[in-house]
Structure 1
Amino acid sequence: MDVQAVLDGLDPEQRAVAEAVRGPVCVLAGAGTGKTRAITHRIAHAILTGHVTPQRVLAVTFTVRAAGEMRSRLRTLGAPGVQARTFHAAALRQLLYFWPRVVGGEPPAIIDSKIRLVADAAAACRLSFGRTELREIAGEIEWAKVTQHRPEDYADAAARTARRTSVDVAHVAGVYTLYEQLRRERNLLDFEGMLELTAAVLTEHPEVAHQVREQYRYFVVDEFQDVNPLQRMLLSTWLGDRDDLCVVGDPNQTIFSFTGATPSYLLDFSRDFPAAKIVKLVRDYRSTPQVVALANGVIGQARGAAAQRHRLELVAQRADGPAPQFTEYADEVAEAEDVARRARALIDQGVPAREIAVLFRINAQSQTYEAAFAQAGVPYVLRGAERFFERPEVRQAVVQLRGAARAGADADTDGTGLILTVRHVLSGVGFSDTPPEGSGPTRARWESLAALAQLAEDMAADHPGATLPDFVAELEERAAAQHAPPLEGVTLASLHAAKGLEWDAVFLVGVVEGTLPIIYAESPEQVEEERRLLYVGVTRARAHLHLSWAVARSPGGGRRRNPSRFLDGLTSKTSTPTPGRAPRAARRTAKGPQPCRVCGRPLTAAVEQKLGRCEDCPAELNEDVLLALKDWRAGISAEQRVPAYVVFTDATLQAIAERAPETLEDLAQIPGVGKRKLDRYGPEVLTLCTS
């Protein structure tokens, strides 16, 4: 690709970024404004004009998927060979390369999860914690390390920054101390230690720093609003006294402050680099004017001097679409059921299921929607579940495609040949043009193979001369980057997990005070981060956007909840009764919420109602019965060709194992066991419970 072709098609602001081939450059890029396009074209333009060679470029981002996407775009632009990596991948590569020279001996093993080591450290402190508390302590240790607080400093730092934890800060500090001691004794290195040690090696060994700085002379950092102090320290070490740095970010999408990330490095970039060129990208190519107007309304109410000084007001570039909808429901069950119905209606209107998402504030909200979508027969994908390229059918398909590529299976290079060849190979592992009936394991396997077939069609459309070896190389690149093709199901995801993604239709659910903003967001800074979280959710939608809340958590519960303060002034209509649901809820009002069978507290969360107790309350659990129930469920699931959760959810099985019902009447009292399931499965379940 020639230089002019790289610049063609860019809007004036994107072109300004691409032509600013020397740093320092700060790009303030709003949602949907093409920031990845701008920075990849900038790198390609700098390479094609001879300002830098590909081997001298280090592009850093936060996810393996984003790094893989950047490398793929750069190859298309004629700039292969650029190092696009996450902070951790770049640091680890340097650390392992220089380890024999500066340290010697066996390099430490990298741990990808702290939980086991935290558990060992807690045991050494004579403390006993459940898995939830262990995860919380691990998160606190990560925060302390990225913000450069040692164990002896943790308690003061936590108090100063108003950290909230259910574990006593003294206990966290004690576990943190033992964690570090055990890590060193076992020659282990966590992700934070990896960054810190790499920076230390460069600082303490000038010859190493010189070699790294000679290798990498051109730096680009994406999502700069999410940089934490430890990452900023490593970046400064890489740079030395140079300023050939381009950073890209959106202060309106700062949603990871709880992990130690801070937008201050982005907002104060011109103070750190007075000669910096600042470019704002505000033309939104993703969303309709109606969605953009709501996004601007949400973020336009942000408080604080920094928010106002760096506010990015998006300008829609797409044609008009439907107005965002706002709906109030009697309870969360009604909300989930109606969202499932609306999703089904969109699918019937031609919107692919993979182009629909339901986004919520906390992961615990997903269970209600899983049940509602299963009941409605709407396929869904829970983001964060099994990795696509680790599925057996996908691994088998890739092996077959790789073998066909080596055998020279496709001589035709007009695009059609690639599509037909891929479909032919996939047919050998179970793919057909017509999907199987039902929604069980067979359908799930077909969906995986269909995603590969669709990927081949997309590649043929974008690159008509693509061959089967090209397609296999693309699959291997995607597998390494965990960049899965979209599956045919509605996405259920948390707002944090949705960042960086987009869909044709988005349902923002649970937009209620106490959930968004979350109840423990007390300081003005914490509340503003919750506002930005809603903004991220709104800007995920291309055309269809639905925001909803429930005035009661559960059917029959007190109707005391209010829509989020973030919606104030953005809609004049904040109540749309749900047909058929309000009268049913009213009939249950006198009954009130179910009490915990251990402590008596009213139960409001769906999972607690199924268990019949608070999640934190102790309960007797027959592990053998639970395992037997799960094995039985797996058999029924395979026999009926439906997902396991359609038979009974995990929470319902756990409740059954805890309560040990002896009669059908006992079993019927457990939430999740309705009359239909009682008639169909009741006798078998009782046999398992009493055997």
Structure 2
Amino acid sequence: MSEPHSLQDRSIDEAVLSGLDDEQRQVATALRGPVCVLAGAGTGKTRAITHRVAYGVHTGVYQPQRVLAVTFTARAAAEMRTRLRDLGAGGVQARTFHAAALRQLQFFWPQAVGGTMPNLLDHKAGMIAESARRLRLSTDRAAIRDVAAEIEWAKVSMLTPETYPRAAATREPPAGFDTTTVARIFQSYEDVKTDRNVIDFEDVLLITVGILQEDARVAATVREQYRHFVVDEYQDVSPLQQRLLDLWLGDRQELCVVGDASQTIYSFTGATPRHLLRFTERYPEADVVRLVRDYRSTPQVVQLANGLLAARTAEAEREKKTSWATPLELVAQRQPGPAPTFTECSDDEAEASQVAARIRRLIDGENVAAGSIAILYRTNGQSEAYEQALTAVGIGYQLRGGERFFARREVRDAMLQLKAASRSVGDEQVSQLVPDILASLGYTEEAPRGSGAVREKWESLAALVSLAKDIELHRISVPGGRFTLADFVMELEERAAAQHAPAMQGVTLASLHSAKGLEWDAVFLVGLSEGLMPISFADTPDAVDEERRLLYVGITRARIHLALSWSTSRTPGGRAHRKPSRFLDGLRPRTERDNRKASATIPQRKIAGPAKCRECGDLLTTGAQRKTGRCSDCPPGYDEAVFESLRSWRLGEAKSTEVPAFVVFTDATLAAIAEARPQSLEQLAALSGVGPSKLEKYGEAVLRVLAEA
């Protein structure tokens, strides 16, 4: 410990701890590890851990340069750095796993490996396409993307091309390939990288792990540099990331982890909550703090979120299922607000129109800013209807995942103007300087009427003005704090490097996965019908559980207003056979349609015994094999011309709707269709992989292809 603080130091320490609730303060003052923070949505976990680091620095327990805070996105790392800087702990390193590993790899490569470090591969698609061509395999863009994701999963799971087939035996192979073929592509991809002298992002972690394991001097240097570790979103660590963290730590226990198993939504990338859930098994003496006070959402929203998870917990207890982690029960701290609404619409177009109309009422009637509203959906292909509906009522929007904020011309021009001005201005308030400087680029206090390019440019500049005000407010609130235009320019440059964009004014359109970590005053969860939520290819209990957690993440993004909706048909005038998501059972009021069907018997899928190959009689172990009814090594029982006709149709359908080909039908399902040659919708519906949603969308077209073939 350091010497006793001066009066000024004690005032800084108190400023760091003030405003924290009892549990957050418990986190902030638990400066020695191991510490496990179980933090529910909206409970202020980032606040708690950044105040913990800052308190450790101000009390002299931590040297800022010897603390490494790790999170999972560049945006989250940039936000953490900003908060730490605001708290007077700017020397602390806050990085993603990849960024921290890459920095170490670049530094140690000459002495540990020798020579020049290979170039870093930004995108795998080109090399995977070449790898497939070397093997004379036919692939389209969607298949390449899916194979890339599978190879990433394999590498973060620390699998090689040799060990992949056995480990992936229970997974659905990508793009209709079997596991042996994927392993061959995997090996070919590794060979292509070697030929080109490049490494990918997973290699950065793998090589760093290898160096730390094999070179004791490098490991000692890293452990001397970093004495204390904080890991945010710990439920999302992969086996490879956990191995790297173990090597960073060595035999020490100065580790604080923060996470929520109920927000595990990236299992398809190799993330697993296992390390969070078993933390106290590994560290029996660990301090465990639960953050359950939800400061984000109203009691009505919190009650719905709790209810969604509680329903599954009750089922898991009856089933004695151990893979479902008992969730944290949130306790709302905000004042009551409006009850969540549930709306059933006749078709997708009607659903989009009613959402746009309600958003217009929120903006005009309740003064909710457009930038505080979001429409969240399961797949990116759902956005188009909402883009059109918002445009029709004159509401601007921003598509999350579209053009990056700092790549926009007006933003680049603004940063140049601000940088030039920072060399000549004095100590004027930044919040007053920035609007004046940006006026030369077209910024005005009042937003221009209408939409289009002029309005989009204004919204970009307005976001910079708002950001300047927010940062200044935080910086000057710290004792001795100051904030200059040069500081603001530095902040913008760091945010640009991390793609940490400020909040915009348009309604946000985003997928549920990309909404993680964000929040809005009003959230519209749309398309909540079976086949979309849960998604149709979630065909195992664990996959369905992850879909439930994904909806939970969506619900907990809302501060005040929450609207949930679904449609009974895809197109106007279509058959109304869609059903609302099973996750809404017990949470939503019954509709007239429910009452009409209340007495109907819902057919249940029969539980079959082990499936066997109809050719050789061996047990079928994968979903793809069970769909076709044969082993991957046994000859197909379909006409190749029919199968290719179906593949050609699927490719055209995927391109026209801008979705991956497997979303239409997997190769395994197409093979099953080609073998069965169904002649009616009823016969087609009986095949595995053809659910109600796909039957409605593609049934007639598939029958036409078969008839023509």
TM bin (shorter chain): 0.7 to 0.9
Mapping 1:264-663, distance limit 5 Å? 264-303=274-313, 304=316, 305-306=321-322, 310-349=326-365, 350-407=367-424, 409-412=425-428, 417-464=429-476, 465-574=482-591, 608=656
Inter-CA distance 610–365: structure 2 relative to 1 (3 Å threshold): closer
Q: Whole-Å Cα distance in 2 between the matches of residues 471 and 11 of structure 1?
A: 31
Q: Whole-Å Cα distance in 1 between the matches of residues 39 and 243 of structure 2?
A: 24
Bigger mean CA deviation after superposition, 520-529 or 466-475? 466-475
| 8 A contact 2:264–2:272 mirrored in 1 | yes
- Secondary structure of 2:149's counterpart equals helix
Deviation (angstroms), 1:481: 2.2
Q: Whole-Å Cα distance in 1 between the matches of residues 511 and 658 of structure 2?
A: 22
Inter-CA distance 605–343: structure 2 relative to 1 (3 Å threshold): farther
> What is the letter of the counterpart of residue 458 of structure 2?
W
- Equivalent position to 1:170, from 176, 180, 198: 180
| 8 A contact 1:44–1:77 mirrored in 2 | yes
Inter-CA distance 76–614: structure 2 relative to 1 (3 Å threshold): closer
- Secondary structure of 2:37's counterpart equals strand
| 8 A contact 1:285–1:317 mirrored in 2 | yes
| 8 A contact 1:253–1:532 mirrored in 2 | yes
| 8 A contact 2:528–2:580 mirrored in 1 | yes
User: CA-to-partner distance for each residue in 1:164-203, whole Å, 9 max, x for gaps?
Assistant: 6433433322211110011112111111111010011011
Match in the other structure for 1:140: 150
| 8 A contact 1:203–1:209 mirrored in 2 | yes
Q: Whole-Å Cα distance in 1 between the matches of residues 12 and 345 of structure 2?
A: 56
Match in the other structure for 1:621: none
Match in the other structure for 2:241: 231
Asked whether 1:13 is paired with 2:23, we answer yes
Q: Whole-Å Cα distance in 1 between the matches of residues 104 and 258 of structure 2?
A: 24
Over the aligned positions, Cα root-mean-square deviation in angstroms equals 2.4
Deviation (angstroms), 1:354: 0.7
Q: Whole-Å Cα distance in 1 between the matches of residues 658 and 49 of structure 2?
A: 49
| 8 A contact 2:34–2:253 mirrored in 1 | yes
| 8 A contact 2:411–2:460 mirrored in 1 | yes
Mapping 1:149-228, distance limit 5 Å? 149-163=159-173, 165-228=175-238
How many residue pairs match? The answer is 591
| 8 A contact 2:650–2:664 mirrored in 1 | no
Q: Whole-Å Cα distance in 1 between the matches of residues 459 and 325 of structure 2?
A: 47
Bigger mean CA deviation after superposition, 21-30 or 474-483? 474-483
Mapping 1:644-683, distance limit 5 Å? none
| 8 A contact 1:332–1:553 mirrored in 2 | yes
- Secondary structure of 1:438's counterpart equals coil
Deviation (angstroms), 1:308: 6.5
Give the unaligned 5+ runs of structure 1: 578-597, 618-691
| 8 A contact 1:288–1:318 mirrored in 2 | yes
> What is the letter of the counterpart of residue 51 of structure 2?
H
Give the unaligned 5+ runs of structure 2: 1-10, 477-481, 595-644, 666-709
Deviation (angstroms), 1:438: 2.9
Bigger mean CA deviation after superposition, 326-335 or 301-310? 301-310
| 8 A contact 1:358–1:493 mirrored in 2 | yes
User: CA-to-partner distance for each residue in 1:335-379, whole Å, 9 max, x for gaps?
Assistant: 011111111111112111110000001111111211222222211
Deviation (angstroms), 1:163: 4.9
Inter-CA distance 391–535: structure 2 relative to 1 (3 Å threshold): same
Match in the other structure for 2:637: none
| 8 A contact 2:342–2:589 mirrored in 1 | no
- Secondary structure of 1:328's counterpart equals strand
| 8 A contact 2:205–2:240 mirrored in 1 | yes
Match in the other structure for 1:95: 105
Deviation (angstroms), 1:466: 2.6
| 8 A contact 1:410–1:418 mirrored in 2 | no
Match in the other structure for 2:608: none
- Secondary structure of 1:133's counterpart equals helix
Deviation (angstroms), 1:309: 5.5
Q: Whole-Å Cα distance in 2 between the matches of residues 86 and 546 of structure 1?
A: 34
| 8 A contact 1:358–1:509 mirrored in 2 | yes
- Secondary structure of 1:485's counterpart equals coil
- Secondary structure of 1:563's counterpart equals coil
Inter-CA distance 486–609: structure 2 relative to 1 (3 Å threshold): closer
| 8 A contact 1:502–1:542 mirrored in 2 | yes
Q: Whole-Å Cα distance in 1 between the matches of residues 535 and 652 of structure 2?
A: 16
User: CA-to-partner distance for each residue in 1:435-474, whole Å, 9 max, x for gaps?
Assistant: 3333121221111111112222223433455322222222
User: CA-to-partner distance for each residue in 1:529-586, whole Å, 9 max, x for gaps?
Assistant: 0100000000000000000011111112211111111111112234699xxxxxxxxx
Q: Whole-Å Cα distance in 2 between the matches of residues 452 and 576 of structure 1?
A: 48
| 8 A contact 1:59–1:83 mirrored in 2 | yes
Q: Whole-Å Cα distance in 2 between the matches of residues 604 and 128 of structure 1?
A: 16
| 8 A contact 1:62–1:86 mirrored in 2 | yes
- Secondary structure of 2:162's counterpart equals helix
Deviation (angstroms), 1:299: 1.1
Deviation (angstroms), 1:606: 11
Asked whether 1:110 is paired with 2:123, we answer no
> What is the letter of the counterpart of residue 321 of structure 1?
G
Asked whether 1:49 is paired with 2:59, we answer yes
Deviation (angstroms), 1:605: 9.0
Bigger mean CA deviation after superposition, 81-90 or 556-565? 556-565
- Secondary structure of 2:575's counterpart equals coil
| 8 A contact 1:220–1:246 mirrored in 2 | yes
| 8 A contact 1:148–1:230 mirrored in 2 | yes
| 8 A contact 1:553–1:604 mirrored in 2 | no
Q: Whole-Å Cα distance in 1 between the matches of residues 445 and 25 of structure 2?
A: 43
Name the TM-score, length of structure 2 as normaliser. 0.80
Q: Whole-Å Cα distance in 1 between the matches of residues 663 and 52 of structure 2?
A: 51
Q: Whole-Å Cα distance in 2 between the matches of residues 175 and 427 of structure 1?
A: 54
Inter-CA distance 182–307: structure 2 relative to 1 (3 Å threshold): closer
Deviation (angstroms), 1:217: 0.9
User: CA-to-partner distance for each residue in 1:631-675, whole Å, 9 max, x for gaps?
Assistant: xxxxxxxxxxxxxxxxxxxxxxxxxxxxxxxxxxxxxxxxxxxxx
> What is the letter of the counterpart of residue 498 of structure 2?
A
User: CA-to-partner distance for each residue in 1:366-418, whole Å, 9 max, x for gaps?
Assistant: 112112222222111110111111111111110110110011x2443xxxx42
> What is the letter of the counterpart of residue 405 of structure 2?
F
Q: Whole-Å Cα distance in 1 between the matches of residues 189 and 259 of structure 2?
A: 34
| 8 A contact 1:341–1:376 mirrored in 2 | yes
Inter-CA distance 106–604: structure 2 relative to 1 (3 Å threshold): closer
| 8 A contact 1:502–1:541 mirrored in 2 | yes
